[in-house]
Structure 1
Amino acid sequence: MNLFEKIFNYQVMSRLDETGAFTITSHERAWLKTMLEHPAASDAFSVETLEKLRALLQPEQSLDLGDRFREKAKSKEKHVYHLLISPIRRIMLEQAGMHMTFRTKDGRLQTEQSGFPYKLEYSMVKREWYLLWYHLRHHTLMSTKLQNIASISPRPLEEQVTAIVLTDIAKIIESRKETAVIEVIPLYNKELSRILYAFSCFEKEVEYSDERETYRIKLTFQLEEREYVLSKLRFLGKRVRILEGEYMRNRMLESTWRALARYGKDES
């Protein structure tokens, strides 16, 4: 049998697809077994998953990396992956509560705080992971950097309590929403796709006026995302202008005056 025949054998692939199985090469199995020997594997997988993978790969040979790889010196960088992501995701999937110990901005240690993890968010600007969670005692929605969390453990919650918490979270998020209407200057209508891409992570509605030949974009975002939206508007420059959203208009006007004061000509 040809070594690559399994790739083209429709019957074999169909049967594998029906059973939810997939094929991997011996080299891939060897690579995976080698990677599972790294200490970081215990942080990336649950104990049950790790034991199952190691048992399945028992007959395989590990890769002999030896001295073939060298890592050059580099500056310190923040990694996208964080060790707490996996345990937090497991708690979220089970819709359980949690006990968490974390440090506040002023350095104080908050021990064994009871909460409900709602969402994991990654800030592209700060390159930081954040946990959005509901404080069961204060009934507020809070955001905490993962690097400030000292420990976290699951806490069982009754289904009725979970339903109440989710309802409260939905109300809080709705109350924090803000909208702004942005108009695309007709000269830059051809750059609409680029402009929409700048706001791709936000909820938006787009309308086109035949009479004025202009596009209007209604953005919906959270109050804490104001600064990020403003940074995108400054990046787009003269392509857009804010029609509705008093706070956003005032902030852009303030930025304009500061720029004029810095770069404008001195009349005296």
Structure 2
Amino acid sequence: MEIFTEAKSTFYKALEEIINRAHENGTISQKEIYDILTKYNCNFPVIEDRIFARNHSYQKNIYVLKPHENKTYRLRINTKIEPYVTNLEIMWLKLIMSSRYANLFLDSSTIEKIKKLKTPNVLPIDMNIIVPKNYSKILLREDIKILTPKLRIISKSILEKRILRYTYTSRNRQVFKDTIGIPVKIQYSLKDDMFYAIFYSPLHKTFAKCIIQNIDEIKPEEGNFDREQILKEYEIYLKNAKSKQPIIIEVMNTRNALEKAFCMFSSFEKSARYLKEKNRHEIRIYYYNFEEAEIISRILYLGKNVVVTEPQHIRENIISRVKEALKAYYNNYIV
């Protein structure tokens, strides 16, 4: 029956929820059934007829419910549907096991269970054909065995509301030794394949974004603080730091520029529309003032397939950077 095809049928999920709710509560009302069908966009007359056994051809009816009283129904067989893993989900689980970060977020017993899952009768994805190109040329990716304890102590400190003392080396190699900070959140950059930690400094009353692999000598520090208050201060900090005007770029859909643009700005709030008269896509990028230099570098990475239309100071910055690059190139390679 096509309606139960794996990874295709929303009706299966709707019927699973109907059966499990009826099993859990003993009965299920007609309204609850309609609400579930609507939730999964399955509220079509033909499907309702099959569930309530109203179809003239009895082979097309689904005999899982029987009328009870006051527009309620009970299960004909009093059992629930246990969750199961589809072939598509197995393929996905096998794929993520190839990630170097699998051990960061899954314990060893879970990883072993996934490895024992029966592989579908399809060719697996060969991860060796996927060649990463966006990783930072300045910072090499840290060994996962070194990164793991740092991530775990930061995440544990967030959960347990602990203060941390650490030494941090910035991108320009400036060292901040014995820094005290309260971890607020952990972020991941798809572009650089790196983890970042947001710290609040009780001393300077401000926030800093640190590359986790550049954090050393990290350890818990004694001290009390109101985490909820710090999170409120963080939201106020972000609100005040938000740029009043988005950066607007027009992307020509050539050489995969559009896909690259969405990938490069995947971590930013944005909106997009198609400009039919120009045959271009307009992307509005909303950002914080402290992210301006990062956005400019990503725009430059996209090259001539992207035009910045607003704001003017960003246009002037990029034009100046391009002129400097051309001048350096001309001076170095003049014949």
**Alpha-carbon distance change, 227 to 153 in structure 1, aligned in 2, over 3 angstroms:** same
Give the letter aligned to residue 210 of structure 2. T
State the Cα deviation string for residues 166-210 of structure 1 (Å, max 9, x = none): 11101112223333011124x749853443233222211112344
Task: Tell whether the 8 Å contact from 1:176 to 1:222 is kept in structure 2 after alignment.
Answer: yes
Give the letter aligned to residue 181 of structure 1. I
| Match in the other structure for 1:110 | 178
**Alpha-carbon distance change, 245 to 102 in structure 1, aligned in 2, over 3 angstroms:** same
Which of residues 205, 228, 232 is equivalent to 1:167? 232
**Alpha-carbon distance change, 228 to 141 in structure 1, aligned in 2, over 3 angstroms:** same
Worse-superposed segment, 248-257 or 164-173 = 248-257
**Alpha-carbon distance change, 128 to 193 in structure 1, aligned in 2, over 3 angstroms:** closer
Give the letter aligned to residue 165 of structure 1. I
**Structure 1 position 182 matched with structure 2 position 288:** no
Task: Tell whether the 8 Å contact from 1:91 to 1:154 is kept in structure 2 after alignment.
Answer: no
Query: Post-superposition shift, 1:88?
Result: 1.3
Task: Tell whether the 8 Å contact from 1:91 to 1:97 is kept in structure 2 after alignment.
Answer: yes
Give the letter aligned to residue 148 of structure 1. I
| Match in the other structure for 2:154 | 88
TM-score (norm 1): 0.58
Give the letter aligned to residue 168 of structure 1. E
1:83 aligns to what SS in structure 2?
Answer: helix
State the Cα deviation string for residues 70-92 of structure 1 (Å, max 9, x = none): xxxxxx96224332111211222
Task: Give unmatched runs, 5+ long, in structure 2.
Answer: 1-79, 85-102, 110-139
Give the letter aligned to residue 237 of structure 1. G
Q: Return the alpha-carbon distance in structure 1 between the equivalents of residues 241 and 166 of structure 2.
A: 26
State the Cα deviation string for residues 131-182 of structure 1 (Å, max 9, x = none): 2111123220023344433132265756xx3222111101112223333011
1:84 aligns to what SS in structure 2?
Answer: helix
Q: Where do residues 28-67 of structure 1 align in structure 2 (5 Å cutoff)?
A: none
| Match in the other structure for 2:43 | none
**Alpha-carbon distance change, 145 to 194 in structure 1, aligned in 2, over 3 angstroms:** closer
Which of residues 296, 300, 305 is equivalent to 1:234? 300
Q: Return the alpha-carbon distance in structure 2 between the equivalents of residues 191 and 107 of structure 1.
A: 38
Query: Post-superposition shift, 1:103?
Result: 4.6
**Alpha-carbon distance change, 138 to 107 in structure 1, aligned in 2, over 3 angstroms:** closer
Q: Where do residues 151-162 of structure 1 align in structure 2 (5 Å cutoff)?
A: 151-153=218-220, 157=224, 161-162=226-227
Q: Where do residues 115-154 of structure 1 align in structure 2 (5 Å cutoff)?
A: 115-122=181-188, 129-146=195-212, 147-153=214-220
Query: Post-superposition shift, 1:233?
Result: 1.8
**Structure 1 position 199 matched with structure 2 position 275:** no
Q: Return the alpha-carbon distance in structure 1 between the equivalents of residues 208 and 260 of structure 2.
A: 33
Worse-superposed segment, 141-150 or 248-257 = 141-150
Task: Tell whether the 8 Å contact from 1:181 to 1:245 is kept in structure 2 after alignment.
Answer: yes
**Alpha-carbon distance change, 231 to 145 in structure 1, aligned in 2, over 3 angstroms:** closer
**Structure 1 position 216 matched with structure 2 position 282:** yes
| Match in the other structure for 2:164 | 99
TM-score (norm 2): 0.48
State the Cα deviation string for residues 104-139 of structure 1 (Å, max 9, x = none): 66445326x2x4211223556776543211112322
**Alpha-carbon distance change, 225 to 98 in structure 1, aligned in 2, over 3 angstroms:** same
Give the letter aligned to residue 250 of structure 1. E
Task: Tell whether the 8 Å contact from 1:101 to 1:152 is kept in structure 2 after alignment.
Answer: yes
**Alpha-carbon distance change, 219 to 108 in structure 1, aligned in 2, over 3 angstroms:** closer
Q: Return the alpha-carbon distance in structure 2 between the equivalents of residues 109 and 264 of structure 1.
A: 42
Between the two proteins, the alignment pairs up a number of residues equal to 200
For the pair shown, which has the larger CA radius of gyration, 1 or 2? Answer: 2
2:149 aligns to what SS in structure 1?
Answer: coil
Q: Return the alpha-carbon distance in structure 2 between the equivalents of residues 201 and 126 of structure 1.
A: 12
Task: Tell whether the 8 Å contact from 2:189 to 2:267 is kept in structure 1 after alignment.
Answer: no
| Match in the other structure for 1:79 | 143
Q: Return the alpha-carbon distance in structure 1 between the equivalents of residues 296 and 165 of structure 2.
A: 33
Task: Tell whether the 8 Å contact from 1:202 to 1:220 is kept in structure 2 after alignment.
Answer: yes
What is the percent sequence identity of the aligned residues?
Answer: 20
2:165 aligns to what SS in structure 1?
Answer: strand
Over aligned residues, Cα RMSD in angstroms? Answer: 4.1
Structure scoring higher RCO (CA < 8 A, sep ≥ 6) equals 1
Query: Post-superposition shift, 1:240?
Result: 1.4
